[in-house]
Structure 1
Amino acid sequence: MGLIEQKLFPGKKAEDIPALAKAETEPTIVPFFADHDIMVNPYPLYQRLLRDSPVHELGDSVVLMRYADVSAALRHPKVSSDDAHGAGQQSRIASGELPQNIVDSLGQRSFLHRDPPDHTRLRGVVSEMFTPRRIERLRPLAQRLVDEAIEATAGRGEIELIEELAYPLPIKVVCELLGIPAKEHLGEVAWKRSQLCCDFEAPASAGACVHYSAGVQDDMTAYFSRQIEAKRGNPGDDLLTLMLEAEQRGEISESEINDTCRLMVVAGHETTISLITNGLLALLRSPDQLELLRTRPELATGAVEETLRYDSPIQFTRRVAAEDLEINGTRVRRGTTILLWLAAANRDPERFTDPDRFDITRPDSHQHLEFGGGIHYCLGAPLARMQGEVALATLVRRLVNPELTLDPPIYMPDAVHAIQAMTVKFTQVNPAS
C-alpha cells in the first residue's frame, strides 16, 4: 500500500479497505493513490473512469470526473469551499477524535476555504494587486530570473529544472508581490515542495498527513507574524502594505492577513512549479510542438493553456455540499465531500477533441478547469500564466538541443502527480534577447 493511501486510510491494511477491494472489480479512483506507476501517468486510468464510472463513491465522498459535472459543481451556489460543512469533520470534532491543536487550526482559513460574505470581503482586499497592469510589472523580473538561471547552468550543459529555476522563480516573484524578503523564505527548507495528500491548511481528518500539514501551517504562521510586524514600520508598494492599510480601515484582521500571506506563497509557487516542469516535459516529448514554439514565440500563451489542460498541476480539489443538492442528475447529501477531478475533466473526450494529444494551437484549451470556476476562480491565475509564458518561451528559445536525462523524470513519492526532479541537458545556450 502506497504512502498516500496509508495517509488516506491510517492504520489499515490493503485487504481491510473496502474501496481498494472494490477497485479490483469496479472502476474507482483509488488505484491512483495505491500505485506509484499510475500516479506518474494517471491519464489511462482517467479515460477508463470517464468511460465506465465518471461518478463514484470513495469512502464518504463522491468523485466527479466529467467536465460537465466538475464545471457545474465549481459554480453551484450550494457547493461550499468551507469544509466546516463536512459531515465527516463535524463527526470527528464531536467525537473528540481530533487533537485540540487540529481543531484550533480549523479557524485559520484563508479565503480559499471560505464562502461569502467572508470570501468576498477578503478577496476584494487583495484583488487590485492582480490586475493585468500589476502582473505585467512583474514580467521583467520573471524574465531576468529565468535568464539568470539559464546563464548559471550554461557551462555545465544541463539544468535541474525544479531546483535551479522552477522552484526559486515563483517564490521570488510572489515575495516581490508581497513585499517580503525572498532570500529568507528560500531558506525555509521545511516548506520546500511541501505538497502531500493535503494542502497547507490542514483538513479535519486523522492520520500523519493532517499532522504534517498542521505543523507546516504553524511554522508559516509564525514566520508571517514576523513579516507583518516588520512591514508595519517599513511600508511599500506591495500586497502586504495594501492589507495593512485595509486593516486600519477595519476590512481585514491581522490573523486574516497572515492567512492570506500563507495562501499567496503556497498557491503562488506550487502550481507554477508544476506548470513549468509539466510544460517543458510535454514539449520535450512532442518535438513538433517544441519547434513550433521556438519559431513562433507568440504561441507561449497557448503552450501554457494547453499544459494546464493536458497535464494539470492540481489534479483534484475538494468541495462540500452545504445542503442536499443535485449536480447534473447526481444527488449529493448535505455534508458530503465532493472530490472534483480537474485533471480528468480536462481530458474529457466529450469536451475536448483528441484530449490525449498535446497541441499548443488547440483553440479551446483555455476552457480547462485547472484554475477552478465561479466565485472561487483562482485569483493568482494571471501571475502563474505570466511566469509560465516567460519560462517556457525562454527555455525553448535559449536551450539548444534540449533533452531529458531521464524519462519519465522522478516524481515525488508522497505527492499527487508532482515531479520531484527533472534534469535537462543541452549542447549550448543561445544569447538572451
Structure 2
Amino acid sequence: MPSTVKNATLLFLGRTVVRAQALLGDPAARLFGMSPARDPYPAYESVRERGPLVKSRMGLYLTASHELCNSLLRDPGFGTLPAGEFSPVDSAAYVGGRRLVNPVEESFLVLNPPDHTRLRRLVAPWFTPRGLREQAATVARVVEEYLDEVAGRPTFDLVGDFAARVPIQVVADLLGVPGADHRSFARWGSALVNALDGVRDLGELRALHNGLREFEAFLDDLIAHRRAHPGDDIVSALVKHEDLTREDLIATTELLLVAGFETTVNLIGNSVLAVLAHPEVRERLVEDPDHAEAVVEETLRLDPPVQYTVRFPFKSTKIGGTWVPKGTPVMLLLAAANRDPAVFADPHRFTPGRADGREHLAFSSGIHYCLGAGLARMEGAAALRGLFRRFPDLRAAGRVRRRPSRVIRGAARFPVSTGLAKDRSIVETIR
C-alpha cells in the first residue's frame, strides 16, 4: 500500500475509533475528540467526578487529582517514555535520505534519566536565578521595542504582533541566533506543537515534515556558525561538548527555541484574556503594575498553556488502589489538577494573589519541572506591565481564534483595540 494511502487510512480509522468511543461516554475519547476551540474544563470535571484514577477503553488511565498528578510527576518509578521501549527510528520521518530529528520525542523534555539528566544539566546554568537577573534588562528592552511598533495603531493582533515576538526574540538572544526571524520560528513552532495532539490529516503531516526540515537546515547553519564564531550563548556552549551528537544538538536547540516561546506566548495571551474578563483585575493592574506577577501566577493556575502530560510506569504498580500494568500511559490532567477543590479554595474563580496560588502544576513537577519557568514568569509579567501601562483602555477588537491543539491552550489570533478606535466587547474569555 502506498505510504500516503496508508497514512490517510490510519488517520481515518483513528478518528473513527475516537468518535465511537466518545459516543459511548469514554472520558479519554471525549477529550481527544473535542474541538480545540471548546472549553475543556467541564470535560475535566467529568473525569474528576469519576474518581481519582479513571480507566479508558482506549488503553490508558486519566487523573484530575492534584495529589496523584503531583505524586506521579515526582515518582522515579514513572517515566515520560516506557523504559527501554523507545528508539528515535521507531517514529522517524526521512526527507532526502536524512532522518528528521523530532524535539518532541528526542530532547530531554521526554527522555528519562540518565540521558535527561546529562542534557538538561548542560543548559541549566542559563536559567538559574543569576541567569534570569542577567536577562531582566533584555526582556524589558524587547517588550518596549515591540510595544513601540504597535503604539500608533488603533488595533493590532496581540499574538502575532506582540505576544509571540517577545519570547522569540528573548530566546533567540539566549541561543545566539542572529537576525531572528520571528515569523519562521512561529511557523515551525506551531507545526511541532500542533502535532502533539497527533496529526489530523496529510496536510498537517506534510507541514510537520516541512517545518522540521527547514528548522534543521537553519540549526545546522547556526551550529556551524557558532563552532567557527563562538559567543556567550547556549549554542556556543553546547558545541564545545564533543560527546554530543548532531541529533543531541539539534533536538536540544529545537526544544529551547520552541518551548522558550510556545509556553510564554500562550501565557501572555491567556493572561490578557483573563484581565479583560475581570474589570476589577484590570483596574488593580493599571494602578499597580507590580500586580502583573500575581496575575501571571493565577493564569498559570486557572488557564495554563500546557493542559496535560503523560507518564508510564516502569513496572506494574498500584495507583490509588488500582493496579496499572507496566508501560500503560497515565494521562495527567494538569489543568484539572490546578482546579482541584481539595487544594484550591474556590478553584474556578480567578483570584490573583490567592494564598494557595503557587501550588499549581502548570510547569509540571519533579525532575521534568519546566527549566524555563522563571523566564516565562518574567516575560509574562513584563508583557502585562508594559501593555496596560501603554494601553490602559485595551479591549478585544474581534473574535479570539484558538490554537488547533488540546495539549497547548492559547490564542492563535487575538485582535485588540488600543483605545484609539471604537471598542468592541470581548466575545470570548476563559472560564
| 1:227 is aligned to 2:222 | yes
The letter of the residue matching 1:239 is I
Residue 404 of structure 1 and its aligned partner are, at CA, apart by 1.0
Q: Deviations over 1:261-282 (max 9, x none)?
A: 0110011111101000000000
Residues 1:380 and 1:100: Cα distance change in structure 2 (over 3 Å) = closer
Match of 2:268 in 1: 276
Superposition pairs for residues 93-132 of structure 1, below 5 Å?
101=94, 109-132=106-129
Report the number of matched residues: 407
Residue 84 of structure 1 and its aligned partner are, at CA, apart by 6.1
Match of 1:10 in 2: 11
- Whether the 8 Å contact between 2:26 and 2:57 is mirrored in structure 1 is no
- Whether the 8 Å contact between 2:29 and 2:58 is mirrored in structure 1 is no
Q: Secondary structure at the match of 1:193?
A: helix
Residue 312 of structure 1 and its aligned partner are, at CA, apart by 0.9
| 1:49 is aligned to 2:47 | yes
Superposition pairs for residues 60-75 of structure 1, below 5 Å?
60-75=59-74
Superposition pairs for residues 232-247 of structure 1, below 5 Å?
232-245=227-240, 247=241
- Per mean C-alpha deviation after superposition, the further-off stretch among 289-298 and 355-364 is 289-298
CA distance in 1, matches of 2:13, 2:65: 30
- Whether the 8 Å contact between 1:400 and 1:428 is mirrored in structure 2 is no
Q: Secondary structure at the match of 1:379?
A: coil
TM-score (ref. length: structure 1):
0.84
Q: Secondary structure at the match of 1:354?
A: coil
Residue 174 of structure 1 and its aligned partner are, at CA, apart by 0.3
CA distance in 2, matches of 1:159, 1:100: 38
Residues 1:303 and 1:53: Cα distance change in structure 2 (over 3 Å) = same
- Whether the 8 Å contact between 1:166 and 1:277 is mirrored in structure 2 is yes
Superposition pairs for residues 103-252 of structure 1, below 5 Å?
109-184=106-181, 186-187=183-184, 190-199=187-196, 208=202, 212-245=207-240, 247-248=241-242, 250=243, 252=244
Match of 1:381 in 2: 373
- Whether the 8 Å contact between 1:343 and 1:370 is mirrored in structure 2 is yes
Match of 1:81 in 2: 80
CA distance in 1, matches of 2:276, 2:166: 21
Match of 2:401 in 1: 410
Which sections of structure 1, spanning at least 5 residues, go unmatched?
Answer: 1-5
- Whether the 8 Å contact between 2:142 and 2:170 is mirrored in structure 1 is no
- Whether the 8 Å contact between 1:47 and 1:344 is mirrored in structure 2 is yes
Q: Deviations over 1:377-399 (max 9, x none)?
A: 11111111110010012212221
Q: Secondary structure at the match of 1:116?
A: coil
CA distance in 2, matches of 1:422, 1:158: 10
Residues 1:414 and 1:125: Cα distance change in structure 2 (over 3 Å) = closer
CA distance in 1, matches of 2:370, 2:340: 21
Q: Deviations over 1:249-269 (max 9, x none)?
A: x4x334312211011001111
Task: Choose which of 251, 254, 268 in structure 2 pairs with 1:259.
Answer: 251
Aligned-pair identity (%): 32
Q: Deviations over 1:205-245 (max 9, x none)?
A: 99756665455334322221111100011111111112123
Q: Deviations over 1:72-129 (max 9, x none)?
A: 111111211135656xx79x95xxxx67749965797111121111111111111111
The letter of the residue matching 1:216 is G
* CA RMSD, 1 decimal: 3.1
Residue 350 of structure 1 and its aligned partner are, at CA, apart by 1.6
CA distance in 2, matches of 1:99, 1:225: 19
Residue 21 of structure 1 and its aligned partner are, at CA, apart by 3.7
Q: Secondary structure at the match of 2:229?
A: coil
Residues 1:327 and 1:166: Cα distance change in structure 2 (over 3 Å) = same
Residues 1:9 and 1:282: Cα distance change in structure 2 (over 3 Å) = farther
- Per mean C-alpha deviation after superposition, the further-off stretch among 305-314 and 129-138 is 129-138
CA distance in 1, matches of 2:45, 2:284: 28
Residue 406 of structure 1 and its aligned partner are, at CA, apart by 2.9
Match of 1:336 in 2: 328
Match of 1:297 in 2: 289
Q: Secondary structure at the match of 2:55?
A: strand
- Whether the 8 Å contact between 2:83 and 2:314 is mirrored in structure 1 is no
